[in-house]
Structure 1
Amino acid sequence: MSHALYSIKKYLEFLRKSTHLPRVHTPFVYLFLTKCLYDQQAHPAYSKLKTYRKSVITDNKLIEITDFGAGSRVFKDDLRKISELGKNAGATYKRMRLLYRVTAYFKPRHVLELGTSVGLATAAFGLAETGKITSVEGCEKIANVAKEKLLALKIPLLTLKNEQFSSFLDRKTEDFYDLVYFDGNHSQEATLHYFNALLPTVTSDTVLIFDDIYWSKGMTAAWEIIKEHPQVQLSIDCFWLGFVFFRKEEKKQHFKIRL
């Protein structure tokens, strides 16, 4: 079964099992759903996100990329338009708004993004202006595009690194991250490696966000292993994104939430 057919099958299953607002007795989850995920306010930053995304998806320059991940469903060669990367490999405008709200809600002091791509999610994290942002991109040509595009937003405390994820994570540092966004190598082995590499740094307040948890059987298997890990107390499956929390004061629970 192809990745695309697998995702469609899993989405139909998700629709049967998920709800918009389940009966939750955990104030933390209830407030996260009602004050953040379902927030309908028109935040001023949204217009900047839309402008940034337009600057990407209307840029038809060609670049030759190096794919260090699990490959692409869309692209068949390494010569790609920046506009196509934005439309097919970057965050949608809806997801950019969601990531902005999540960042503004939790106010992380340090965000780590694994997979800058052309900077669409990076812009969402940055415009929340809650603290430092470190974004890592393996492909030099794509990293250069993101660096050039993001200059227009003048995001404070943003560090862009052109480095493969494994070498970045395996290099021991004193850095701790309050929010981590995994959007790079969509394979089971790599995702679990990144998760395990970051476990020593997590606290009760750390938020992990996994992109495309139903991209393939391997990604779904990784998600199932992660959410059952003894240190994970809460998980929220929104199909395209999976949220993981380590709040020791909560009993272990898993939710499937339709956005």
Structure 2
Amino acid sequence: MLFQIKSYLKFLWQSKNEHAVHSPFVFNLLTKCFYDKKYKPEYAILKRYRNELLQNKNTIAVTDFGAGSRVFKSNIRQISKIAETAGISPKRAQLLYRIVHYFQPETVLEIGTSLGLATSALALGNPKAKIITLEGCPNTIAVAKIQLEKFNCNTIECVETDFLSYLQNCQQKTESYQLIYFDGNHSKKATLDYFELLLPTITNETVWIFDDIHWSADMEAAWEIIKNHPKVTVSIDTFQWGLVFFRYEQPKQHFIIRT
């Protein structure tokens, strides 16, 4: 916790808003997407999705996986508590919706479904997008499937899998995902493994979002490597998330942005 507080204070000191941004691409993203304060009807759906989970007092066995198939821990948890503490926040879910709505990706990959809170935001952002969401825990993804079907999120393929094995196979197929949301394993090694495995799939329109980039010293180190990678042209640090773009026409730039 102390590490995160120090990281956040450093972030506040260095961060800017749209007035300090001279890249037209990033300026438009901030003003038309990040800082869009207009109410969206989809926000009510996201709220209902969350509230149903918060009212669900059933318990399930939750298994957290590390890199590969190595099990970190397994315990019994109440669904409402998982939604309260482990899921994406309401504010972040709305931002994720806006990002997807802004870029309109046709293909989306989510690494880490959990209960589908972020998945629902991805689906609502572009109802026509083909979405694949990966989860290692069979019980949480079972809850997510039921919930997503109830809310008519019909373009989503929920896959119970070991992330690393799936992505190794994905690399062999060289599938292309226009947007990827990385929220499956907050460790340096796993994050960098996923990054390297998915690099062959990038296009000029690709958007990658990494969750919890300041969660730990290891995650900060992973973020430094990612944003400095020669194929990454534009990177945005919002403290909670790191966004990277691979736009060939853009000069290499890094932005630290308050949201």
Pair in the same fold by TM > 0.5 = yes
Once the two structures are superposed, residues 77-116 of structure 1 have per-residue CA deviations (whole angstroms, 9 ceiling, x without a partner) of 6111111111111101111100000000000010000000
Matched, 1:168 2:166: yes
Q: Which whole-Å CA distance do the structure 2 matches of 1:217 and 1:140 have between them?
A: 30
Please say which of residues 33-42 and 52-61 is displaced more in the overlay.
52-61
Q: Which whole-Å CA distance do the structure 2 matches of 1:77 and 1:185 have between them?
A: 15
Which residue, out of 86, 99, 102, partners 2:99?
A: 102
Q: Which whole-Å CA distance do the structure 1 matches of 2:31 and 2:196 have between them?
A: 31
Matched, 1:35 2:38: no
Q: Which whole-Å CA distance do the structure 1 matches of 2:149 and 2:66 have between them?
A: 26
C-alpha displacement of 1:57: 1.5
C-alpha displacement of 1:149: 1.0
C-alpha displacement of 1:20: 2.1
Which runs of no fewer than 5 residues in structure 2 stay unpaired?
68-72
Q: In structure 2, the residue corresponding to 1:255 is in which secondary structure?
A: strand
Q: Which whole-Å CA distance do the structure 2 matches of 1:100 and 1:244 have between them?
A: 17
C-alpha displacement of 1:131: 1.1
Once the two structures are superposed, residues 46-97 of structure 1 have per-residue CA deviations (whole angstroms, 9 ceiling, x without a partner) of 1000000101112111111111048xxxxx9611111111111110111110
Once the two structures are superposed, residues 3-54 of structure 1 have per-residue CA deviations (whole angstroms, 9 ceiling, x without a partner) of x221111001101110122422221111000000000010110100000010
Please say which of residues 149-158 and 202-211 is displaced more in the overlay.
149-158
Aligned pairs, number = 251
Structure 1 match to 2:115: 118
Structure 2 match to 1:214: 214
Once the two structures are superposed, residues 113-166 of structure 1 have per-residue CA deviations (whole angstroms, 9 ceiling, x without a partner) of 000000000000011214100000000011101111111111132100000110
Q: Which whole-Å CA distance do the structure 2 matches of 1:115 and 1:57 have between them?
A: 19
Which residue, out of 61, 74, 78, partners 2:75?
A: 78
Structure 2 match to 1:256: 256
Q: Which whole-Å CA distance do the structure 1 matches of 2:160 and 2:173 have between them?
A: 17
Q: Which amino acid aligns with 2:32?
A: K
**Percent identity over the alignment?**
50
CA RMSD, Structure 1 to Structure 2 (Å)? 1.3
Q: Judge conservation of contact 1:181–1:209 (CA < 8 Å) in 2.
A: yes
Q: Which whole-Å CA distance do the structure 2 matches of 1:173 and 1:90 have between them?
A: 30
Q: In structure 1, the residue corresponding to 2:100 is in which secondary structure?
A: helix
Structure 2 match to 1:182: 182
Structure 1 match to 2:191: 191
Please say which of residues 207-216 and 56-65 is displaced more in the overlay.
56-65
Structure 2 match to 1:138: 136
Q: In structure 2, the residue corresponding to 1:154 is in which secondary structure?
A: coil
Q: Which whole-Å CA distance do the structure 2 matches of 1:89 and 1:114 have between them?
A: 14
Structure 2 match to 1:152: 150
Q: Judge conservation of contact 1:61–1:82 (CA < 8 Å) in 2.
A: yes
Matches within 5 A, 1:8-19: 8-19=5-16
Matches within 5 A, 1:217-256: 217-256=217-256
Change (3 A) 1:83 1:69: farther
Q: Which whole-Å CA distance do the structure 2 matches of 1:12 and 1:78 have between them?
A: 34
Matched, 1:50 2:47: yes
C-alpha displacement of 1:202: 0.3
Q: Which amino acid aligns with 2:176?
A: F
Change (3 A) 1:169 1:90: same
Q: Judge conservation of contact 1:108–1:130 (CA < 8 Å) in 2.
A: no
Q: Judge conservation of contact 2:128–2:155 (CA < 8 Å) in 1.
A: no
Matches within 5 A, 1:54-65: 54-65=51-62
Change (3 A) 1:6 1:130: farther
Q: In structure 2, the residue corresponding to 1:175 is in which secondary structure?
A: coil
Which runs of no fewer than 5 residues in structure 1 stay unpaired?
71-75
Q: Judge conservation of contact 2:174–2:200 (CA < 8 Å) in 1.
A: no
Q: Which amino acid aligns with 1:145?
A: V
